[in-house]
Amino acid sequence: VNVAIVGVGLVGSEFIAQVIATQSKKIAVVAVANSRQFLTSPTPLTASWKTDLASASKAFTLDAFTASLAASKATNPTVVLDCTSNENVAAYYPTWLEAGFHVVTPNKKAFSGDLSLYKKIKEIANGAPGAPLVYHESTVGAGLPVINTLNDLVNTGDKITKIEGIFSGTLSYIFNNFSTLDASAEPVQFSKVVSVAKDLGYTEPDPRDDLNGMDVARKVIILGRVAGLDLTQETVNVENIVPESLRSLSSEEFMKKLPEFDSHFEKLNKEAIQNGQVLRYVGLVDPIHGKSSVTLARYPASHPFASLKGSDNIIAFTTERFPSPLIIQGSGAGAAVTAFGIYSDILKIAERTQ
């Protein structure tokens, strides 16, 4: 398949590097675009693609990029890979699909935003013979096989009773270090853990973008929709753990004042630990009771979520066939694993369109 990439930052660049390193015979990257310009090529791009793109003369617009792909009249199927987190690009998917292009993306916007956009995408990519394909494995858990597994459960007629998970590597790291039943672990203040996570590059530039729960909510919405629920941001109850008085400050002021709330988080943690539990920030898809949520919850030592280490993600699917949950765990963030998820998706399209 031919691949045309919109967005060549960390993840887009890493994907190209993996394709070049593996000398894939099934994938040819023939177009790349950043927000300023784009480059199309009749032959697969090589390791010099960054230099070539920098000297490209075509100004980037979605329309111009798409017209250029259509004009190339490629004999192989074309996959448009969106590596941005841009809403305007996500809104363009129906146009690409109607033009006969397939779409692969780690961009969560189309699958967690406007429900009518999501339904339009599903209507075009409807699984009929010859219909365009859409894969978005990397929107939840980076390269972990989360959406693929959920699709398999749904498509084989299993009944989902609950999907529960620690979907944020950032919040996994913060609470795995802050709230532990390991007696040998040094007690640590919440603000200190957040500060260390920020310094390590685990958090967004403004850690409130992680702590407010919206990123986890998007992942809950995506999984809920794949499971057949019409979830929206209005129907998911999200617990924002940023103290209210710190929500409107600058990022610097927020970090400066967060230690004033260490006692609040310490109290929550002590209450949990006294009951043999730990705190974990968890997303829940609840098809049975219709109460999907994102909350700071408590789990006993025996629960898989309690023994999580580092910044791993963990997702548990409870279904009719798997009353004891099917669990997926591993690294759920980072350019290498996200690019791996994308690469896997594109290979699936290559196999399905042969």
**Has 290 been labeled as part of a binding site?**
no
The span from the CA of 53 to the CA of 55, in Å, is 5
The side-by-side arrangement of strands in the sheet containing 78-82 is: 58-59, 37-40, 28-33, 2-6, 78-82, 102-104, 134-135
Is 108 annotated to bind a ligand? Reply is yes
Tell whether residue 104 is among the known ligand binding residues.
Answer: no
> Cα(100)–Cα(112) distance, rounded to whole angstroms?
23
Signed CA dihedral, 18, 19, 22, 23: sign only: negative
State the Cα–Cα distance between residues 61 and 34, nearest whole angstrom.
10
Q: Is 10 labelled as part of a ligand binding site?
A: yes
204 is in an annotated binding site: yes
Q: Does 8 carry a binding-site annotation? A: yes
User: What is the Cα–Cα distance from 333 to 260, expressed in whole angstroms?
Assistant: 30
Distance of CA 252 to the CA centre of its chain: 27
Q: Which residues lie closer than 8 Å to 77 by C-beta, 6 or more apart?
A: 1, 2, 102, 349, 350, 353
Identify whether the C-beta of residue 150 lies closer than 8 Å to the C-beta of residue 317.
yes
**38: closest CA among 52, 27, 20?**
52
**Residue 11 is labelled as binding a ligand:** yes
Q: Is 120 annotated as a binding residue?
A: no
Q: Tell me, what DSSP letter sits at residue 43?
A: S
Q: Which of 26, 58, 122, 219 is catalytic?
A: 219
Q: Is 7 helix (H, G, I), strand (E, B) or coil?
A: coil
CA distance 147 to 145: 6
334 assigned ligand-binding residue: no
CA distances from 127 to 90, 134, 222, 313 (A): 20, 10, 18, 30
Nearest alpha-carbon partner for 6 in 66, 48, 47, 46: 66
Polymer length in residues for the chain: 354
Catalytic site includes residue 219: yes
- Positions at the binding site for L-homoserine: 204
- Positions at the binding site: 7-12, 84, 108, 204
Residues annotated as catalytic are 219
- Positions at the binding site for NADP(+): 7-12
